[in-house]
Structure 1
Amino acid sequence: MTSTLTGPLAGAAEVRPDGWLATPLTTDPAQASAQARSLICRHHPDAPGPVCCLTARYRTATFTLGNPPSLLLKRHGDEAAYLGEVLAYQLLDSEHVLPDLHSTCDDSQTLVVDFLHRPAAIDHKASFEELIAAVAAIHTAPARWPTATADTMASWRLATAVEAPAPAWIRDPTAWHRLLQMTADAHGAFHVPLGHLDLKTDHARRRPDGHLALIDTETLRPDLTGLPDLITLAYLAGTEGRQLPPRWVRQVYRRHTNDLGAQWSDTDLVRALTAFADATGLHSLHGVDE
């Protein structure tokens, strides 16, 4: 697990040092665009043109495709991030909480998805609850997986995790196993604990059908539970001029997850949040446990 030294999950993990990526992408937009055109011709021949560079960073680059833009090409410099994003699209295909995926290429570590340019304003309770509902759908998605997907992900089930040693980055293994057991009690022993979304205001967008969707899902992991995301939601509820109570965030999250099959009590959810903080060294729960 990695996080920034500041922000909603400060203290839960260490950041990677500068220069950790062995083969960084170019940060020059013109060069990045030229490389993208070549990759599209070889690996995504059905994608429309023209290509317009949105971002050129050492880890990722993004490009709109079409005029007007209809698709987005995303290129990863980090294989783990690419595989994580592809996994997210595969595991959440039926939830309609991500842009639609059109094609992928492992060789170039690229994927083509719908370009969602409409922001989903999350500055009032109704729209923020949409965000919470989307996160709850992701956290409970394993309960709705087809048999083939569930079997493929069987090694990540909580029934196995609660018996396994805590990961090396966990600071309090006892608290970690307490968190896993409470999550198993709420979701079932066969649950795969999806979590660790990159939740930001700008990552909430509108799909063509009007529903809220999340972009940039390469951080999703099947071993962290949904608690980091609930903590981040509480943090977002109090930033950028929002004054949404963290207790309200917890109650809405619990209602949506329970409506989708979980069985969290409010007391156990607070205990699980506290266990996550104890296990990881998290600096603050941002009031979501109050």
Structure 2
Amino acid sequence: MSTTLAGPLVGATRVRPDGWLATPLTTDPSQAEAQARSLVHRHHPVAPGPVRCLTTRYRTATFTLGAPPRRLLKRHGDEAAYLGEVLAYQLLEGERVLPELHSASDISRTLMVDFLHEPAAIEHEDGFEELIAAVAAIHTASARWPQHVTETMSPWRLATTSDAPAPAWVRDPVAWRELLRLTADAHGDDHVPLGHLDLKADHCRRRSDGRFALIDAETLRPDLTGLPDLITLAYLGQVEGRALRPRWVRQAYRRHNNDLGAQWSDDGLVRALTAFATATGLTSLHGVAQ
């Protein structure tokens, strides 16, 4: 796993050292915007103009397209992050929980998606439950994949991975296998355990039809289960002025997952959360297993 040190998953993360990216992007907005115009012209010829720099970092840069903005161009410096985000759009195409993907370029490592500017407030139960429902849709998506996607993703089925050696970053392989067993009990052996979303308030948006959506899907992985996201949800429910009880978050998560075909018991979900913490060295479950 890889994420920032501060946050809900401290202890279960390993942080990349400074300078790990061989070809970082420019952090100068004017230079980044000029480069984006050239990339749009070559790789996204139907994109609306003008191009305006929104954010520029050494790993990623984002640009609005159109006036007023209609599309968002995202550029990746890291090929793995780009491929991960493209994979997320492909795997979640039928769930309508991400902005619509219009085009992608492997050559330039860029994607063009709908620009979602309207925030989705999650300060209260109704809005937060929309977030939980979107996360549950992602976690159960493999049950609704068309046959060609199911076949492509078959190497990540729990039936295939449960008996494989634990990943190198796992501290307790026995607890990891218990986590996978409990997940298979709830979702079935054919389940592909999507998880590790970059969940934060700023990534919760509204689509033009009013539906809730998440932006920034580059961290999604098909091998971590949904438990890190449930832990993050419990954390989010208690920070930035919110006061949502972790038990309420867990029960809402279980209800939405089970409505979509899972069969989590409350006891099984608590044991799975505990197994994840033991397996990864997570320092806190933020009350979600109590």
Q: TM-score range by the shorter chain?
A: over 0.9
2:196 is the counterpart of 1:196:
yes
3-state SS in 1 of match to 2:186: helix
Which residue type is aligned with residue 255 of structure 2? R
Distance in 1 of aligned mates of 2:71 and 2:122: 24
**Runs of at least 4 residues off by over 3 Å:** none
Distance in 1 of aligned mates of 2:273 and 2:146: 30
| Residue number in structure 1 paired with 2:245 | 245
Are the aligned partners of 1:3 and 1:10 in contact in 2 as well (CA < 8 Å)? no
| Residue number in structure 1 paired with 2:273 | 273
| Residue number in structure 2 paired with 1:236 | 236
Q: Percent identity?
A: 77
3-state SS in 2 of match to 1:129: helix
* Alpha-carbon shift at residue 13 of structure 1 (Å): 1.8
* Alpha-carbon shift at residue 257 of structure 1 (Å): 0.1
| Residue number in structure 2 paired with 1:91 | 91
* Alpha-carbon shift at residue 186 of structure 1 (Å): 0.3
Are the aligned partners of 1:11 and 1:280 in contact in 2 as well (CA < 8 Å)? yes
Distance in 2 of aligned mates of 1:263 and 1:42: 48
Q: So what's the TM-score if we normalise by structure 2?
A: 1.00
2:92 is the counterpart of 1:82:
no
* Alpha-carbon shift at residue 255 of structure 1 (Å): 0.2
Q: Where does structure 2 lack aligned partners over 5 or more consecutive residues?
A: none
Q: Where does structure 1 lack aligned partners over 5 or more consecutive residues?
A: none
Q: So what's the TM-score if we normalise by structure 1?
A: 1.00
| Residue number in structure 1 paired with 2:289 | 289
* Alpha-carbon shift at residue 6 of structure 1 (Å): 1.5
3-state SS in 2 of match to 1:102: strand
Which residue type is aligned with residue 11 of structure 1? G
Are the aligned partners of 1:159 and 1:189 in contact in 2 as well (CA < 8 Å)? yes
* Alpha-carbon shift at residue 5 of structure 1 (Å): 1.8
Which residue type is aligned with residue 163 of structure 1? D
3-state SS in 2 of match to 1:255: helix
Distance in 1 of aligned mates of 2:110 and 2:142: 26
Q: Deviations over 1:187-232 (max 9, x none)?
A: 0001000000000000000000101100000000000000000000
Distance in 2 of aligned mates of 1:3 and 1:111: 22
| Residue number in structure 1 paired with 2:208 | 208
3-state SS in 1 of match to 2:68: coil
2:51 is the counterpart of 1:25:
no
Distance in 2 of aligned mates of 1:90 and 1:139: 14
Distance in 2 of aligned mates of 1:122 and 1:62: 24
Which residue type is aligned with residue 34 of structure 1? A
Distance in 2 of aligned mates of 1:20 and 1:76: 14
Q: What pairs up with 1:1-290 in 2 under 5 angstroms? A: 1-290=1-290
Distance in 2 of aligned mates of 1:7 and 1:209: 32
Distance in 1 of aligned mates of 2:287 and 2:242: 14
Distance in 2 of aligned mates of 1:8 and 1:100: 28
Are the aligned partners of 1:84 and 1:220 in contact in 2 as well (CA < 8 Å)? yes
Distance in 1 of aligned mates of 2:69 and 2:5: 35
Are the aligned partners of 1:3 and 1:12 in contact in 2 as well (CA < 8 Å)? no
Distance in 1 of aligned mates of 2:4 and 2:68: 35
Distance in 2 of aligned mates of 1:159 and 1:271: 20
3-state SS in 2 of match to 1:205: strand
Distance in 2 of aligned mates of 1:211 and 1:279: 36
Distance in 1 of aligned mates of 2:283 and 2:212: 30
* Alpha-carbon shift at residue 3 of structure 1 (Å): 2.3
Q: Deviations over 1:55-107 (max 9, x none)?
A: 01000000000011000000000000000000000000000000000000000
Are the aligned partners of 1:204 and 1:213 in contact in 2 as well (CA < 8 Å)? yes
Which residue type is aligned with residue 82 of structure 1? Y
